[in-house]
C-alpha cells in the first residue's frame, strides 16, 4: 500500500503571481524605494538635524543651501529649510495618506452600494458621483477650506470628501459585473444577508481595482494639499507643509530660488513615487487600463 503525501502548494501572498509581476516592474520598485527613504527621513531626520523647524535665527536669514550646517539653506526668518522640509513631509504625507484612507472608504461604500443594489438607488448614487465630478476639484476644496477652520484634520476631511468619486466609479463598475456571477447567486440562494454578500462576498473580489485606485489617490491627495496650502488655505503656519513652504516663495524667486525649488522637488518626488507604485500595482493586479 502506498501512501500519497500531498504537499499543499505554498499559498502565502508573497509567493503569488501578482507579487512576482510587481517585483518585475522597475518603476514601481523605484517608487517603493523612494517612498521608504522619504518616510524614514521624515520620521528620523528631525531628530538628527542640528536645528529645530521653528527655530528663528535672524542673523542667518536667506542662507543659501550648503552654508554651514544649513544643508538646504534657510528661509526669510532664518529657519533651517532641511528641518522644515522633513517636518513638513510628516504633515503632507500623513494628510495625503489619511485622506486616501477616508476617500477610499467613502468611495468603496458608495460604489458597492450603487453597484450591488442597482436600480434607482444605484442610478441616483452614480448621478451624485457625476455631479461631484463636474466640479473642478480645486474650486470645491478651496471654497470648503476657506469657510471651515483649517486644521490638518479638517483639510484631510475636505480632500477626502472631494475626491472619493473616482473610487466609487471604479468599484461600482466592478461590483456591477460581479453581481451576476455564480458565486453571488449561490450566496443569495443560501440566504445570506445583502450586507454580508455585498461586503464579504463581492467586495473581496473587487479589491484589485480598489488598491490601485488607492495608491493613485495618495498621489492626488498630496498634490491637492500642496495646491491649497500653496494658495494659503491649507495647512496653516507655523505648522509647515510642503505646500505652505512654497506659499511665500514666489516673491523671493530672484534672490532665494532654493525656497521654491526644494519643497517643490519634495512634492514631485513623493507624488511621482506613488504614481509609479500605482502603475506597478495596476500591472501586477491585472486591472484593466481604462483609466488613463
Partner 1 sequence: MSGFLLNRLSQSIVLLVIVSIIGFTVLNLMPGGPLAQFGLDPGMTQKDVERLAAQLGLNRPLWLQYLDWASRLIRGDWGHSFRDGSAVLSVIGRHLLATLLLMGTSTVLAIAAGTWIGIRGATHRYSLFDYCATVGAMVALSVPTFWFGLIGIYIFTLKLGWVPAGNMYTIGDGSVLDYLHHLILPSLVLSLVHVAIWSRYMRTATLDALSQDFVKTARAKGVSERRILLKHVVGNALLPMITLAGMQLPSVLTGALVTETVFTWPGMGRLFLDSLGYSDYPMVMGLLIFSAILVVLGNLIADIVIATVDPRIRLG
Q: Rounded to the nearest 5°, which phi and psi values hold at 128?
A: -65, -40
Of 88 and 184, the one with the shorter C-beta distance to partner 1 is: 88
Distance of alpha carbon 195 from alpha carbon 217, whole angstroms: 26
Q: Does 167 engage in binding with partner 1 (CB under 8 A)?
A: no
Q: Does 249 engage in binding with partner 1 (CB under 8 A)?
A: yes
**Using CB under 8 A, which of the segments 92-100, 169-177, 199-207, 219-227 binds partner 1?**
219-227
User: Shortest gap between Cβ of 87 and partner 1 (angstroms)?
Assistant: 19
Binding mask 57-96 vs partner 1 (x if CB under 8 A, - otherwise)?
----------------------------------------
* 238 preceded by a cis bond (ω within 30 of 0): yes
Q: Does 264 engage in binding with partner 1 (CB under 8 A)?
A: yes
Q: Of the candidates 44, 68, 121, 135, which one interacts with partner 1 according to CB under 8 A?
A: 135
Distance of alpha carbon 39 from alpha carbon 169, whole angstroms: 31
Q: Does 133 engage in binding with partner 1 (CB under 8 A)?
A: yes
Q: Of the candidates 226, 235, 245, 287, which one interacts with partner 1 according to CB under 8 A?
A: 226
Q: Of the candidates 143, 154, 157, 285, which one interacts with partner 1 according to CB under 8 A?
A: 143
Q: Rounded to the nearest 5°, which phi and psi values hold at 237?
A: -65, 155
Of 127 and 181, the one with the shorter C-beta distance to partner 1 is: 127
Q: Of the candidates 148, 153, 194, 237, which one interacts with partner 1 according to CB under 8 A?
A: 148
Q: Does 137 engage in binding with partner 1 (CB under 8 A)?
A: yes
The set of residues, in sequence order, having a beta carbon less than 8 Å from that of 144 and lying 6+ positions away, is 158, 161, 162
Q: Does 140 engage in binding with partner 1 (CB under 8 A)?
A: yes
Q: Does 134 engage in binding with partner 1 (CB under 8 A)?
A: yes
Cα 194 to Cα 2, 112, 198, 200, 201, distances in angstroms: 48, 11, 6, 10, 10
Of 201 and 275, the one with the shorter C-beta distance to partner 1 is: 275
Cα 290 to Cα 68, 135, 137, 139, 286, distances in angstroms: 51, 22, 21, 26, 12
Q: Does 286 engage in binding with partner 1 (CB under 8 A)?
A: no
Cell 522644515: give the residue.
Answer: 84
The set of residues, in sequence order, having a beta carbon less than 8 Å from that of 200 and lying 6+ positions away, is 192
Q: Of the candidates 43, 147, 153, 186, which one interacts with partner 1 according to CB under 8 A?
A: 147
Q: DSSP states of 133-153 as a string?
A: HTS-HHHHHHHHHHHS---HH
Q: Of the candidates 1, 10, 120, 136, which one interacts with partner 1 according to CB under 8 A?
A: 136
Q: Of the candidates 112, 159, 271, 287, which one interacts with partner 1 according to CB under 8 A?
A: 271
Q: Does 157 engage in binding with partner 1 (CB under 8 A)?
A: no
Q: Rounded to the nearest 5°, which phi and psi values hold at 155?
A: -60, -40
For residue 74, the SS3 value is strand
Q: Of the candidates 227, 235, 281, 283, which one interacts with partner 1 according to CB under 8 A?
A: 227
Amino acid at each position: 500500500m502506498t501512501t500519497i503525501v500531498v504537499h499543499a502548494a505554498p499559498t502565502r501572498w508573497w509567493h503569488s503571481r501578482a507579487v512576482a509581476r510587481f517585483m518585475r516592474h522597475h518603476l514601481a520598485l523605484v517608487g517603493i524605494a523612494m517612498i521608504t527613504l522619504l518616510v524614514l527621513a521624515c520620521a528620523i531626520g528631525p531628530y538628527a538635524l542640528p536645528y529645530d523647524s521653528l527655530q528663528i535665527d535672524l542673523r542667518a536669514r536667506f542662507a543659501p543651501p550648503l552654508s554651514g550646517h544649513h544643508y538646504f539653506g534657510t528661509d526669510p526668518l532664518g529657519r533651517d529649510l532641511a528641518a522644515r522640509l522633513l517636518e513638513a513631509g510628516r504633515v503632507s504625507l500623513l494628510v495625503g495618506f489619511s485622506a486616501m484612507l477616508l476617500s477610499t472608504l467613502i468611495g468603496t461604500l458608495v460604489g458597492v452600494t450603487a453597484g450591488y443594489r442597482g436600480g434607482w438607488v444605484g442610478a441616483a448614487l452614480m448621478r451624485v458621483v457625476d455631479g461631484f465630478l463636474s466640479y473642478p476639484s480645486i474650486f470645491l476644496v478651496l471654497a470648503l477650506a476657506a469657510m471651515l477652520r483649517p486644521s490638518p484634520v479638517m483639510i484631510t476631511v475636505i480632500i477626502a470628501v472631494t475626491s472619493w468619486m473616482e473610487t466609487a466609479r471604479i468599484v461600482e463598475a466592478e461590483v456591477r459585473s460581479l453581481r451576476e456571477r455564480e458565486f453571488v447567486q449561490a450566496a443569495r440562494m443560501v440566504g445570506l444577508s445583502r450586507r454580508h454578500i455585498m461586503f464579504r462576498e463581492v467586495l473581496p473580489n473587487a479589491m484589485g481595482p480598489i488598491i490601485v485606485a488607492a495608491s493613485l489617490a495618495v498621489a492626488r491627495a498630496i498634490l491637492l494639499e500642496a495646491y491649497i496650502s500653496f494658495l494659503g488655505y491649507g495647512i496653516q503656519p507655523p505648522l509647515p507643509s510642503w505646500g505652505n513652504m512654497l506659499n511665500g516663495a514666489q516673491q523671493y524667486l530672484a534672490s532665494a530660488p532654493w525656497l521654491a525649488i526644494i519643497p517643490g522637488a519634495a512634492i514631485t518626488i513623493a507624488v511621482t513615487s506613488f504614481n509609479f507604485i500605482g502603475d506597478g500595482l495596476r500591472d501586477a493586479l491585472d486591472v484593466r487600463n481604462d483609466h488613463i
